[in-house]
Structure 1
Amino acid sequence: MNLDTRIKFRHLLCFLEIARHGSFAKAADAVSISQPAISKTVKELEGLLETRLFERGKQGVELTPAGVRFMRYAGPCVQALRDGVRTLRLEEHQAPQVRVGVLSTVESQLMPQVLGLLHARHEALVISVATGPSAYLLSQLHVGDLDVVVGRMTDSPQIQGLLFEHLYSEAMTLAVRPGHPLLASQPTERALINHYPLVLPLAGTTIRKHADSLFVQCGIELPGQRLETLSPTLSRRYVQTSDAIWVAPRDAVRLEVAQGELCELDLGVNEPGGSVGICSNAALPLPLPAQWLCDVVREVALSYRR
């Protein structure tokens, strides 16, 4: 029997939902079936493929190497079918749409510039923006729910099997409110850093790894009083109204520093920073609206690189 005829849409859909949520229970809720039913469906698919697609671990359900390879094709396949159905159901004059994942590293400065130029050049364009940790956004890109992801993500294991285009390197910096006690002496006395609350990216994220690397390089021990968040808005407001220190990508505070609303601490080192770029799914051609977005991202990023 031809293997292709035995693999059904429900097999692929259940597989992708489990990969997306990392949980059989959450995936079952997403497709509105029972957990035993979704487990049976995945077992059928593994039998047809003659390989294990998932392993249960301490953090939930994880893809096996075979599962990762299969997802590179299953995700675009299901998304292509959805797109085909959507084109038949949408009205003739439906506005084009691009779905982009935006990491916190570019949420405050680069992307607002990009979105402004895009809407200035295209009268009818719907831009759907998803935010969150790189692991989450890249998983959405893998299964075809996003067209591209923009930001700093090269250290994320989920980037395997995807295409990454480097745009520019972005260093980390320490930002404080004007009048902060540590501004009294420059370069900043590093031993005093851990006397104040720190605002850091969430543990385990790509940007947090760069923040930790900066502190190791400077020989600074993390204080016990920390706020961990990926929200630039919350971080900015908290630092502006307290003596907290924000460990942030320079892009996130560039505008506030230029306007005198925040100040940078001088640690006396030049941290090379991470690679900011565009990530796309190699197995799925970019729709035309996504190509428009990528062109504008490259244009704006050129000024950052300079």
Structure 2
Amino acid sequence: MDVELRHLRAFASVARHHSFSRAAEELLITQPALSRTIAQLEGKLSVRLLDRSSRHVKLTDTGAEFLVHVERVLATLDQALAVVSHRVTLRLGFSWLLPDPWAQQTVSRFEESTGASVDLTRTDDPLQALRQRSVDIALVRGDVDVPRGARIMRLYNEPRIAVCSERCDLARLGHLDWTDVQYWPLVVNTVSGTTGPWSWPVDERPAQIIETANYDEWLETVAANRGIGIVPEVAQRRTQHPALRFVSLINAPPSPVSLIHFPDAQRTLIRRFLDAAAPAAAPE
């Protein structure tokens, strides 16, 4: 008879609400489209399931009997889908310190609404992991070159802060202007850092650059007093290192936080994750 799942869900919704308008709202379709779907079902079955002659929609005797079996089928299907959904995982790649409370709110919202889980994957280069398809979506900080064919969703901007060794003269100054960074040796994470010589015009760049390849190397190089660093303020809340001091950074441009993904990977899950990410609050 070529009866489709959409026919059964439409019929069950109308029967439950005794209303085409309320059922259309629940199913997120227009009322004319719902009416056509019910008409298609009745045509395929060659029976009348709903009595539309009164002000309220009522089930015919055949419709009431049919509804018992439809609800059983839909309940069994939903149980089967629930079992599968708990085994579905979305891999979120990040390089260091997921932003809070955004990450916790987004993951919680996504998992509660989908039944799927988020696998948090720490990697030095989230974009490379995305290219290699070892993660499904990448959280990145700063202005980055988006891989060809990928899509980007900007979330919000994070303020920047300076960090130095407890033995550095900057620790006693208490603040630093963005334009004065050029006079200090700057430690840069070349793989996933948000601040580097590229952050200033050529004539205002720091004269001395110390390169590192990941966040841990960057952290220990700053702690060893090889130079100062500049990071999003989340690092001050989340980094516990006795040799580091954080210093207010004045007039610094904010650092963007973004999600990047390929549109051909895990389409439904990624769309649901982006929906969960958008309303989540940005860090204070």
Q: TM-score by structure 1 length?
A: 0.49
Give the aligned partner of residue 38 of structure 2.
none
Q: CA–CA distance in 2 between the matches of 1:186 and 1:172?
A: 15
| The one of 218, 228, 240 aligned to 2:212 | 228
Distance 1:111 1:95, change over 3 A: farther
| The one of 129, 134, 137 aligned to 1:148 | 137
Gaps of 5+ in 2: 1-82
Distance 1:118 1:220, change over 3 A: closer
Q: CA–CA distance in 1 between the matches of 2:252 and 2:100?
A: 25
The Cα RMSD (Å) is 4.1
Contact 1:118-1:292 within 8 A present in 2 as well: no
Distance 1:287 1:236, change over 3 A: same
Partner SS state of residue 248, structure 1: strand
Give the aligned partner of residue 264 of structure 1.
247
| The one of 133, 151, 156 aligned to 1:163 | 151
Q: CA deviation at 1:156?
A: 0.9
Q: CA deviation at 1:167?
A: 0.6
> Runs of 4 or more off by more than 6 Å in structure 1?
none
Name the amino acid aligned to 1:146.
Answer: V
Gaps of 5+ in 1: 1-90
Contact 1:135-1:156 within 8 A present in 2 as well: no
Contact 1:183-1:265 within 8 A present in 2 as well: no
Alignment of 1:236-275 (within 5 A): 236-242=219-225, 244-256=227-239, 262-266=245-249, 268-273=250-255, 275=256
Alignment of 1:17-36 (within 5 A): none
Q: CA–CA distance in 1 between the matches of 2:247 and 2:260?
A: 30
Whether 1:131 and 2:123 are equivalent positions in the alignment is yes
| The one of 70, 73, 91 aligned to 1:99 | 91
Give the aligned partner of residue 35 of structure 1.
none
Compare the two structures and name the one with the higher helix fraction.
Answer: 1
Contact 1:256-1:262 within 8 A present in 2 as well: no
Structure having the higher Rg: 2
Name the amino acid aligned to 1:269.
Answer: N
Partner SS state of residue 127, structure 1: strand
Contact 2:155-2:258 within 8 A present in 1 as well: yes
Partner SS state of residue 271, structure 1: coil
